[in-house]
């Protein structure tokens, strides 16, 4: 093998440029692939690990105490491998001192004596488990101290449930989310539980929701089962954030791998074509056909492996912030590393792909007859190229340009591959442009909807902070009066029971400029509310409850029933507990002062910090916060897709550079001849750049539709994963100017790629060409 290695090393040295191109392409593709795989892996692996650690229940079941006794439940073990319960459970309105409590909403509370057990072994990560009535432990994912202090739960020391004030004694974490909080069984008995909780691990198949439900139905036949949560529900929630990244990382990943295959194929076939003489020499020395192929494969596998090693490292580092973002607050803390199998896939996958891509052109070297190789040299076939050249020669274009336009026809195969890499470059740039457009539009909508500043009465604090003296209307007037305020919206949030539905809805009674602050603009369907019996629902609520625009709901309000019609669907609801309805303002006497919420949109150029400071100064009894932050997701996705698009465009340019370098190499003699008859260096440059710019235009025109199609495919997939519905207009990001710029991007990629080798060809000394031929 040492002879093959010696020859391959020489070939690598001769083709520094191509070697560099291959290494870079392999690096980029590996990095993208590793990030995608790490995320893919992350959508299940850390959850699975935590779930196993806690011996999470396959189903959390909730039985009707009127139909089954605790003894019957404890005795029913059909198909159950391990179980815990029955535990008394209730869903209760909770309230804490200060405004935070009013945001907690109803909590599912379970009476449980012991955090350990056969299943759902809870991690009590701060404080302790309730030991006596009057104590409560909350469910929250473990966080570092800084994160903990920042979260809303960090302030809680007492909690009022069903009129009883409980002391918060600790925090525990249940991966399976079997409850929001736990108390002692005695405390639960005192409240008279509304259901009995059973936690089951089953012996049989639990791979799907249906399978779990089937197992569960077998445990205790009869109608006592009220509700159940298969573990897949929690698992899918855990995968949500990762699921948003996957579609577009996948799209870029596929484009990257395609470009890798094309460029490697082009580099190797170029090396084989321009290396005919080289192959002939190797064969005349006694290299076997297989060894010759070995030389050419070694030539690409060395840089590809080097690129893959660097790319794997880069991908692993690059995946960290995404993984951390994915797991923030999910409580799988330790699980944010990149798994070994992902490393292995990165290290082996791309070099293997490169090898396969190289195999086909390298096998030409295998078949090439030595005699032919040694005598033939590497002159491209004339025929068609000559005909095109003759046609172009008849036009009135400057000769250097018409010669350049004819060049791509001399080697149709190479031209096709170059065009394909340009096409992918433009596709990528188009996709990234579309993604950025959609995301910016979406986040603008988001930001507008949230307002710039949010305000609530009261200030959070361990002992209940200062409260405002002002009433609802006075607060609104205060906010409107402060310098910088452009729009002020007020709302009162109320949890309202719905006739015929098991859980209540959050209704936001709105006043002022709420509609004008983005919510009306982001209507997905229908129209904005126009009267007291009309409501607008968030997409989340509509999806969760199987509603539709046009449906009516009967709300139990102020002791009576109010029928409302859903006239519109919005992307999102007001900040606060999610699935809300917008309803027209009505004065609700006796409303909790903490239920009021105000959002302010500032005038163009007004300073958010100054405004929040002004509000605090005007009334220390108000909680004020900055609501402007664009979501991390938008920044991350726009950032990554821009970087990936630039990188892939650079790779496409490298593909062009490789092609021009090969063309120049093939045509050294022609170039020497053209110069000897008086072609200036500038004309040589023009000729070579023209040849690629023409391909750039064609690649641009063809790549744009592909990019637009990819955008159409990726955005809905990502939105789906994020469980949001996007209004159609955020998809309409294309206008003639953008499209024209995208065509220009194709030309730019081509020209930038061609410039370097064209310049060195322009400087090529005739004497040297003639000396070496």
Partner 1 sequence: MTTETVVRLDRVRKEYGETAALDGVSLTIRRGEAVAVMGPSGCGKSTLLNMIAGLDRPTSGEVTVHGERLDAMNETRLALFRRHHLGMIFQFFNLLDDLSALDNVALAAQLTGSSAATARRRALELFDELGITDRRDVYPAALSGGERQRVAVARALMNRPALLLADEPTGALDSRAGEQVMDLLIDLNQIGQTLLIVTHDARLAHRCASRLVELADGRIAAESALDRV
CA atoms within 13 A on the CB side of 12: 21
Contact by Cβ (8 Å): 693, 415: no
Task: Tell me how far CA of residue 469 lies from CA of 141, 424, 485, 593, 620, in angstroms.
Answer: 37, 63, 21, 11, 10
Span of 288-296, 460-468, 553-561, 655-663 interacting with partner 1 by CB under 8 A: 288-296
Least distance to partner 1 from the beta carbon of 11, Å? 7
Nearer to partner 1, 10 or 744 (CB): 10
* Residue 105 vs 289, nearer CB to partner 1: 289
**Can you tell me which of 102, 187, 291, 428 binds partner 1, judged by CB under 8 A?**
291
- Does position 3 interact with partner 1 (CB under 8 A)? The reply is yes
Q: Which window, 10-18, 254-262, 317-325, 448-456, contacts partner 1 (CB under 8 A)?
A: 10-18
Give, in order, the Cα–Cα distances in Å from 287 to each of 42, 230, 300, 370: 48, 64, 19, 10
**375 exposure class (CB count in 10 Å sphere: 0-12, 13-18, 19+):** exposed
Contact flags string 520-559 toward partner 1, x per CB under 8 A: ----------------------------------------
Q: Which region among 7-15, 25-33, 470-478, 669-677 touches partner 1 (by CB under 8 A)?
A: 7-15
Query: Quick check: 207 binds partner 1 (CB under 8 A)?
Result: no
For the record, the structure tokens of 408 come out as 């791509």
Cα separation, 5 vs 339, in Å, equals 34
**Cβ-contact 129, 137 below 8 angstroms:** yes
Report, in Å, the least distance between residue 46 CB and partner 1.
50
Peptide bond before 86: cis, by omega within 30 degrees of 0? yes
Tell me the C-alpha distance between 660 and 571, whole Å. 50
Q: Kindly tell me which of 256 and 672 has the beta carbon lying closer to partner 1.
A: 672
* 208 or 284: CB nearest partner 1: 284
Q: Report d(CA 424, CA 396) in Å as an integer.
A: 33
Question: Please, which residue, 147 or 382, has the CB nearer to partner 1?
Answer: 382
Q: Does 10 sit near partner 1 (CB under 8 A)? A: yes
Site for partner 1 in 257-286 (CB under 8 A): 277-278, 280-281, 283-286
Residue entry with tokens 């409580």 = 331
Collapsing DSSP to helix, strand or coil, 130 comes out as coil
Identify which of residues 162 and 375 has a Cβ nearer to partner 1 in the complex: 375
- Closer to partner 1 by CB, 309 or 764: give it: 764
Q: Dihedral angle at the C-alpha atoms of 24, 29, 34, 40, nearest 10 degrees?
A: 170
Nearer to partner 1, 67 or 277 (CB): 277
The 3-class secondary structure across 611-674, one letter per residue, is HHHHHHHHCCCEEEEECCCCCHHHHHHHHHHHHHHHHHHHHHHHHHHHHHHHHHHHCHHHHHHH
Pick between residue 51 and residue 287 the one whose CB is nearest to partner 1: 287
What single string gives the DSSP state of each residue in 198-224? Answer: EEEEESS--SSHHHHHHHHHHHS-STT
Cβ–Cβ under 8 Å, residues 404 and 761: no
C-alpha to C-alpha distance for 662 and 658, rounded to whole angstroms? 6
Helix, strand, or coil here: 461?
A: coil
Least Å distance, CB 3 to partner 1, is 4
Q: Minimum distance between the CB of residue 15 and partner 1, rounded to whole angstroms?
A: 9
User: Does residue number 766 form part of the binding site for partner 1 (CB under 8 A)?
Assistant: no
Rg of the chain on CA atoms, in Å: 34
Closest CB 762 distance from partner 1, rounded Å: 21
Residue 197 backbone dihedrals phi, psi, to 5 degrees:
-95, 135
C-alpha separations of 761 from 379, 408, 491, 765 in Å: 18, 17, 71, 9
Closest CB to partner 1 among residues 277, 616: 277
Least CB distance to partner 1 at residue 765 (A): 12
160 contact partners, CB below 8 Å, separation of at least 6: 94, 95, 96, 101, 166
> For residues 342-401, which are near partner 1 according to CB under 8 A?
369-372, 374-375
Q: Site for partner 1 (CB under 8 A): which residue of 290, 341, 381, 586?
A: 290
CB burial of residue 753 (10 Å; 0-12, 13-18, 19+):
buried
Q: How far apart are CA 174 and CA 124, in angstroms?
A: 9
Residue 387 CB, shortest distance to partner 1, in Å, is 23
| Least gap, CB of 371 to partner 1 (angstroms) | 4
Min dist. Cβ of residue 755 to partner 1 (A): 26
Which tokens hold the place of 392? 């172009």
Considering the rule CB under 8 A, would residue 288 count as an interface residue with partner 1?
yes
Q: Is 289 in the site for partner 1 (CB under 8 A)?
A: yes
Residue whose CB is less far from partner 1, 13 or 384: 13
Show the tokens assigned to 698.
């064609």
Dig out the tokens for 159 from the structure: 């909690």
Nearest distance in Å: CB 767, partner 1: 12
Crossing angle between the packed helical segments 681-721 and 736-763, to the nearest 10 degrees: 140
Nearer to partner 1, 557 or 769 (CB): 769
Where in 11-70 is the site for partner 1 (CB under 8 A)? 11, 13-14
Minimum distance, C-beta of residue 39 to partner 1, in the bound complex (Å):
43
Single out the segment in contact with partner 1 by CB under 8 A; choices: 5-13, 488-496, 544-552, 669-677.
5-13
Cβ atoms 57, 178 nearer than 8 A: yes
**Minimum CB distance to partner 1, residue 300 (Å):** 16
Number of H helices, E strands in the chain: 25, 20
Structure tokens at 53: 């650690």
Asked if 769 and 671 touch (Cβ cutoff 8 Å), the reply is: yes
Site for partner 1 contains 2 (CB under 8 A): yes
Asked if 150 is part of the footprint of partner 1 (rule: CB under 8 A), the reply reads: no
Under rule CB under 8 A, residue 162 binds partner 1: no
From 9-17, 260-268, 347-355, 572-580, span contacting partner 1 (CB under 8 A): 9-17
Choice between 375 and 676, CB closer to partner 1:
375
- Identify which of residues 251 and 282 has a Cβ nearer to partner 1 in the complex: 282
Kindly indicate which of the ranges 2-10, 439-447, 615-623, 632-640 contains the residues binding partner 1, using the contact rule CB under 8 A: 2-10
Residue count, binding to partner 1 (CB under 8 A)? 28
Binding site for partner 1 (CB under 8 A): 2-3, 6-7, 10-11, 13-14, 277-278, 280-281, 283-291, 369-372, 374-375, 772
């Amino acid at each position: 093998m040492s002879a093959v290695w010696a020859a391959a090393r020489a070939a690598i040295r001769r083709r520094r440029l191509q070697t560099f191109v291959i290494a870079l392409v392999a690096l980029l593709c590996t990095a993208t692939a590793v990030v995608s795989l790490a995320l893919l892996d992350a959508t299940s692996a850390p959850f699975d690990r935590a779930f196993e650690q806690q011996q999470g229940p396959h189903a959390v079941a909730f039985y009707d105490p009127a139909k089954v006794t605790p003894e019957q439940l404890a005795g029913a073990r059909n198909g159950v491998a391990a179980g815990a319960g029955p535990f008394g459970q209730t869903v209760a309105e909770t309230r804490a001192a200060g405004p935070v409590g009013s945001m907690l909403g109803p909590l599912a509370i379970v009476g449980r004596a012991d955090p350990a057990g056969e299943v759902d072994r809870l991690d009590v990560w701060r404080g302790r488990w309730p030991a006596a009535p009057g104590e409560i432990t909350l469910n929250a994912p473990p966080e570092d101290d800084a994160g903990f202090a920042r979260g809303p739960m960090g302030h809680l020391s007492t909690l009022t449930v069903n009129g009883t004030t409980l002391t918060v004694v600790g925090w525990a974490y249940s991966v399976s989310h079997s409850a929001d909080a736990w108390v002692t069984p005695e405390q639960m008995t005192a409240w008279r539980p509304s259901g009995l909780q059973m936690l089951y691990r089953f012996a049989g198949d639990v791979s799907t929701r249906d399978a779990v439900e089937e197992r569960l139905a077998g445990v205790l036949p009869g109608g006592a089962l009220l509700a159940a949560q298969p573990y897949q529900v929690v698992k899918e929630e855990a995968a949500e954030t990762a699921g948003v990244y996957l579609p577009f990382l996948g799209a870029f990943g596929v484009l990257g791998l395609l470009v890798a295959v094309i460029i490697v194929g082009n580099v190797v076939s170029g090396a084989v074509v321009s290396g005919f003489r080289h192959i002939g020499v190797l064969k005349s020395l006694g290299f076997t056909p297989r060894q010759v192929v070995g030389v050419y494969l070694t030539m690409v596998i060395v840089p590809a492996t080097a690129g893959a090693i660097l790319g794997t490292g880069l991908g692993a580092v690059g995946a960290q912030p995404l993984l951390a973002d994915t797991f923030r607050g999910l409580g799988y803390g330790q699980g944010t590393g990149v798994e070994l199998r992902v490393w292995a896939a990165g290290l082996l996958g791309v070099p293997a792909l490169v090898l396969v891509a190289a195999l086909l052109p390298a096998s030409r070297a295998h078949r090439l007859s030595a005699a032919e190789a040694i005598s033939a040299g590497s002159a491209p076939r004339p025929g068609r190229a000559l005909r095109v050249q003759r046609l172009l020669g008849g036009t009135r274009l400057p000769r250097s340009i018409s010669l350049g336009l004819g060049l791509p026809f001399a080697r149709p195969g190479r031209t096709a591959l170059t065009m394909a890499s340009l096409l992918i470059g433009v596709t990528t740039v188009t996709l990234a442009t579309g993604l950025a457009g959609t995301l910016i539009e979406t986040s603008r909508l988001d930001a507008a909807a949230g307002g710039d500043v949010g305000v609530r009465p009261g200030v959070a604090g361990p002992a209940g902070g200062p409260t405002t003296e002002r009433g609802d209307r006075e607060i609104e007037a205060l906010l409107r009066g402060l310098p910088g305020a452009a729009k002020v919206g007020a709302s009162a949030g109320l949890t309202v029971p719905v006739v015929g539905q098991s859980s209540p809805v959050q209704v936001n009674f709105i006043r002022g400029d709420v509609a004008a602050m983005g919510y009306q603009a982001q209507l997905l369907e229908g129209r904005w509310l126009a009267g007291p019996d009309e409501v607008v629902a968030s997409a989340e609520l509509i999806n969760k409850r199987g509603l539709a625009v046009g449906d009516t709901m009967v709300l139990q309000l102020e002791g009576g029933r109010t029928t409302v019609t859903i006239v519109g669907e919005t992307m999102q609801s007001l900040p606060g507990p999610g699935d809300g309805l917008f309803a027209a303002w009505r004065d609700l006497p006796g409303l909790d002062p903490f239920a009021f919420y105000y959002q302010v949109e500032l005038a163009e150029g007004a300073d958010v910090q100054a405004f929040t400071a002004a509000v605090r100064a005007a009334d220390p009894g108000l909680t004020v916060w900055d609501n402007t932050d664009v979501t991390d997701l938008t920044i991350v996705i726009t950032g990554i897709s821009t970087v990936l698009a630039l990188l892939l465009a650079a790779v496409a340019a490298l593909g062009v550079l490789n092609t021009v370098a090969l063309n120049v190499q093939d045509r050294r003699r022609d170039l020497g001849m053209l110069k000897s008859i008086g072609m200036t260096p500038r004309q040589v440059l023009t000729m070579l750049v023209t040849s690629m710019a023409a391909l750039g235009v064609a690649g641009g025109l063809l790549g744009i539709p592909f990019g637009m199609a990819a955008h159409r495919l990726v955005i809905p997939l990502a939105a789906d994963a994020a469980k949001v519905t996007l209004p159609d207009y955020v998809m309409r990001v294309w206008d003639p100017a953008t499209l024209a710029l995208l065509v220009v991007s194709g030309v730019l990629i081509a020209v930038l790629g061609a410039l370097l080798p064209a310049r060195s060809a322009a400087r090529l000394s005739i004497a040297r060409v003639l000396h070496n031929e």
